[in-house]
Chains A and B, each alone.
Chain A
Amino acid sequence: MDFKFTEEQVQFREEVKEFVTTEKEKGIFPFGNNCWMHLSSMEFSKEVAKNGLIGIAWPKEHGGRGMGYVDRVIMLEEMFRAGAPVAYHFMADRQVAPGIIHFGSDFLKKEFLPKIRNAEVCFCLLFSEPDAGSDLANCRTTAVEEGDYYIVNGQKVWTSNGHIADYGWALVKTNLDPAVSRYNAFSEMVIDMKSPGVTVRPLINSAGAHSFNEVYFDNVKVPKEYLVGTKDNGFRQIMTNLDFERAGIERLMQNSLTLDSLKDYVKTNDKGGKPLSQDPLIRDSIAKLEIEFEVGKLFIYYVASLLDKGKIPSYEAAMGKTFCTLYEAKLADVATTLMGLPGLLMPGSPEAPCNGMACEDYLWSPSYTLQGGVVEVLKNIVAQRGLKLGRKKK
């Protein structure tokens, strides 16, 4: 056991901090909560790219910096602490590029890795469908070979940033033989969102924001070289990728500004002449949040350390995401309650503390325990893969 960061890591954290502070002080980029889902700025992402902060964990031969996952968590911790608007490049950096590096052809690597690293393209994920949420293998969007192309038909939904993305990373059915197991029927492919036949329709989420979309495919032609990895092996590829998706600190810190503003609020507001921060119940409630945050953070670093050792953290990542998203949902709830009636004021309202951040966060919070696998599905994964429960007895 050695929990010390290396000197390089300490220095790297300082670099990132300095970068983020400088960018924030420019006052031109939209810093805030839910920054990886909702705050997209190509200009900011290009600054990130210029500073070599996209692709840090990719191998050097693919244009990355060959750094580790712990390093990546350090970087993201500092970015999320400030609410940096990373949405434009986030999915591509976290998930698409590692997918291409693991499974993709040389063509795909050459075509997309430099563009992703330079923040020239935005990717969205095209997984969920109306009848395929937790049961992802129930997807119905098809891709049928025709000459040098696949012809894609179907519908995806809850597509975050589908309206700004240049490309989509899609799970499509390529084997329509009903006798074939559905886990052997899918492929992963890149789809150009500007292709004829792609229609993106906005969905407004229950917080009142346009963050996700419906995406329709009507005879969309996708060049065959955009297929990622092995045909019909997509479901397994995606499951491996999900372990990376679930390992991140974004699941702990997408609303970390709320905790800061809550601490600030109780220090600067008083009840009966005494700061709220001296009320024992309020202190206890905030200390509880602080403790869960620190416990969750340690767990995220643990999962990253597993990845750095070359292990696939299948159930550990699921456990980490479960823990962290439950914390996030709680944070928004506790913050609004402790602030009292002012905690109900929305961004832009007169009198709203911290510009209504807590209230807005509360409205976003149901999504935390849903996106990227609902808590209950994640618990199934931990039970089955981690605790080996529910297997047939010999």
Chain B
Amino acid sequence: MDFNFNEEQQMVYDSTKKFFEKETSGTLLRELMEDDKGYSPEVWKKMAELGWMGLLFKEEYGGFEGSFLDFALILEGMGKSAMPSPFLSTVILTGLIIQDNGSEELKKEYLPKIAEGECISTLAFLGRKGLYSKSELELEAKQVNGGYRISGAASFVPYAHVADNILCAAKTTDSEGVTLFILDGKAAGIETINLHSISGKGVDCLVNFKDVQATPAQIVGEAGKGWEYIEAQWPKVAVALSCECVGGMDRVMEMTLNHVNERIQFGKPLSALQVVQHMCVDMAMKLETSRHTAHYAAWQVNEGLDCTKEAAIAKSWCGEAFKVVTKIGHQLTGGIGFSEEFDLFLYTRNAKKLELLFGDGSFQRAIVADNIGL
């Protein structure tokens, strides 16, 4: 058993860290929260140049067939930087779903573009209640003249307003279950409305579909199996989000320790107070346990093992841990930590969001319960 990075992993970790230290600034992050696009096209392009978008794709589709552990470390760096981007929705929620299930034509059409950074894409699969449940889906595809007309609404769709493509999950009338269609983001009948969410004004969207046309060639995989395709990616998404949490916690820990070491009260640094030390240790325990849990699950993914339980453990644990760490961070950084000039609030928001994305703690624990025979 080796919990340490190998040379390659260390390199990925270090270079990702360096990249974000260079590309991220507090000013940029604050601007992006107000920005309509919600991400930085310049940084996006550079990320693509580093090969991150195609890391998990096969070579024949412009990818690198890289390790999921490297991918996980990149996500950790992303979480540490708090840089928002359509990375996950494009790479996993569209790219991997197409790679794992799509026809040869679809793979050749979309994956190289994604790998090049030329295609932003997203997955529309939640209803307006935001519940991760097949029965809450509000999109319906009717069969008309050998094609389909998709109508209804999908919400909490990240970056739909800037997406070149939208993968949409719709109930189909001609088959049981849910079918995935890959659509042009600007197809006639698609209306995107920006939601102002905890992470900013340009990230999540409500998307209205009104008789949007699709051909059978736009179906990803088999009709009626779309929900299963999404569920099959669940562990990867859960692990990726867990790694983002780890990165975020790492940064919050750094800024909090800095503060308690620098801030003098009662004639000594806050960190000389035992009660403060213990709170810092509570943070450190959350961080260290989360790190191992996330890396272990990422390793399982990479080995191709069934990691439904391990991924759910990671997401449940890391999601809640990140939130707790930001709360302790706030308590220890006091007034300055609650001010807009201090970066902590960026992480407070991310932590809350990551706690809920793709299933909160209790959602994940239900998966764990299923997997231990309860």
- Which residues of A pack against B, CB within 8 Å? 1-5, 70, 263, 266-267, 277, 280, 283-284, 286-288, 290-291, 294-296, 298-299, 301-302, 304-305, 316, 319, 322-323, 376, 379-380, 382-384, 386-387, 389-390, 393
| Contact across chains for A291 and B295 when beta carbons are under 8 A apart | no
For window 293-346 of B, CB contacts with A under 8 Å fall at 293, 295-296, 298-300, 303, 310, 313, 316-317
Q: Of A3, A283, A296, A389, which is within 8 A of B365 by CB?
A: A283
Q: Are B272 and A390 in contact (CB under 8 A)?
A: yes
- The answer to whether B269 touches A70 (Cβ under 8 A) is no
B9 interface residue, CB < 8 Å from A? Answer: yes
Residue of B nearest to A378 (CB): B281
Chain A contacts for B277, CB-based, 8 A: 379-380, 383-384, 387, 389-390
- B300: chain A residues within 8 A (beta carbon): 3
Bound Cα distance A305, B4 (Å): 9
Q: With contacts A291-B368, A295-B293, A389-B271 known, what are 5 further pairs, Cβ within 8 A?
A: A287-B374, A301-B3, A376-B278, A382-B284, A393-B261
- CA distance in complex: A4, B299 (Å): 9
Ranked 9 nearest A-B pairs via Cβ? A383-B277, A287-B365, A283-B369, A287-B368, A389-B271, A277-B374, A379-B281, A287-B369, A382-B281
Q: Out of B69, B280, B362, B372, which one reaches A290, CB within 8 Å?
A: B372
Q: Which residues of chain B are near A296, meaning CB under 8 Å?
A: 289
Secondary structure type dominating chain B contacts: helix
Interface residues of B in 159-212 (CB under 8 A from A): none
Residue of B nearest to A390 (CB): B272
Please report whether the interface of chain A is mostly helix, strand, loop or mixed according to DSSP: helix
Q: Which residues of B contact A316 (CB under 8 A)?
A: 288
CB–CB B289/A323 < 8 A:
yes
Task: Report Cα–Cα, A304/B281, bound state, in Å.
Answer: 21
B373 at the interface (CB under 8 A from A): yes
B1–A4 CB distance below 8 A: yes
Find the B residue at minimum CB distance from A301. B1
Q: Is the Cβ of A298 less than 8 Å from the Cβ of B292?
A: yes
A389-B288 CB under 8 A given contacts A284-B366, A290-B368: no
- Contact residues in A for B288 (Cβ distance below 8 Å): 299, 316, 319
Would you call B284 and A284 a contact (CB within 8 A)?
Answer: no
- A337 CB to nearest chain B CB (Å): 17
- Mask, B244-282, CB within 8 Å of A = 1, is 000000000000010011000000010110101110111
What A residues does B298 contact at CB under 8 A? 1
Given contacts A277-B374, A319-B284, A389-B271, contact A298 B296 (CB under 8 A): yes
Is B217 among interface residues, defined by CB-CB distance under 8 A? no
User: Whole-angstrom distance from the CB of B163 to the nearest CB of chain A?
Assistant: 33
CA distance A2 to B298 in the complex (A): 10
Q: Is the CB of A383 within 8 A of B281?
A: yes
Rounded to whole Å, the gap between the CB of A382 and the closest CB of chain B is 5
| CB neighbours of B365 from chain A (8 A) | 283-284, 287-288, 291
Interface residue B50 (Cβ < 8 Å from any Cβ of A): no
Q: How long is the Cα–Cα vector from A386 to B257 in the complex, in angstroms?
A: 12
Measured in the bound complex, the distance between the Cα atoms of B224 and A252 in whole Å is 46
Known A383-B277, A389-B260; judge A323-B369 contact (CB<8 A): no
Asked if residues B374 and A3 are in contact (CB atoms below 8 Å), the reply is no
**A-B CB pair tally, cutoff 8 Å:** 133
Q: Is B132 an interface residue (CB 8 A)?
A: no
The answer, among B2, B292, B313, B374, for a CB contact under 8 Å with A2, is B2
Say which residue of A70, A286, A393 sits within 8 Å of B374 (CB atoms). A286
Q: What residue in chain B is nearest A303 (Cβ atoms)? A: B3
Which chain A residue has the least Cβ–Cβ distance from B277? A383
Q: Which residues of B contact A263 (CB under 8 A)?
A: 372-374
Indicate the member of A1, A266, A379 with the most B CB atoms within 10 Å: A1
Contact of A291 among B69, B261, B317 (CB under 8 A): B317
Interface centre among A263, A290, A301, A323 (most CB of B within 10 A): A290
Q: Counting chain B CB atoms within 10 Å of each CB, which of A5, A322, A323, A383 scores highest?
A: A383
B285 within 8 A of A: yes
The residues of A that contact B278 with a CB separation of less than 8 Å are: 376, 379-380, 383
Give A259's nearest chain B residue, CB to CB. B372
A384 to B303, CA, bound (A): 38
Please give, as numbers and ranges, the residues of chain A lying within 8 Å of B271 by CB-CB distance. Answer: 389-390
Contact (Cβ within 8 A) A323 B69: no
Q: Taking the nearest CB of chain A, how far is it from the CB of B270, in angstroms?
A: 9
Contacts of A5 in B (CB 8 A): 1
CA–CA, A344 and B5, complex, Å: 48
Complex Cα gap A296–B293 (Å): 9
User: What B residues does A301 contact at CB under 8 A?
Assistant: 1, 3
Chain B nearest CB, measured from A394 CB (Å): 11
Q: Is the CB of B374 within 8 A of A387?
A: no
* Chain B residues in 8 Å Cβ range of A389: 257, 260-261, 271-272, 276-277, 280
Task: Give min CB distance, A387 to chain B, whole Å.
Answer: 6
Query: What CA separation (Å) do A389 and B374 show in the bound complex?
Result: 43
Task: Give the chain B neighbours of A384 by CB distance below 8 A.
Answer: 277
Q: Which chain A residue has the least Cβ–Cβ distance from B261?
A: A389
| In contact, B299 and A322 (Cβ under 8 angstroms) | no
Contact of A305 with B289 in the complex, beta carbons under 8 Å: no
- Chain B's closest residue to A318 (CB) is B281
Given contacts A291-B317, A295-B313, contact A1 B281 (CB under 8 A): no
B6 within 8 A of A: yes
Residues from chain A with a CB closer than 8 A to the CB of B280 are: 383, 387, 389
A387 and B281 contact, CB distance less than 8 A: yes
11 CB-based A-B contacts, threshold 8 Å: A1-B295, A3-B1, A4-B303, A284-B366, A299-B292, A316-B288, A319-B285, A380-B277, A389-B261, A389-B280, A390-B272
The winner among B5, B278, B282 for most chain A CB atoms within 10 A is B278
Q: Which of A267, A302, A389 has the most CB of B within 10 A?
A: A389
B368 surroundings in chain A (CB, below 8 A): 287, 290-291
In the complex, A386→B285 CA distance in Å?
A: 11
Determine if A387 and B284 form an interchain contact, defined as CB atoms under 8 angstroms apart.
yes
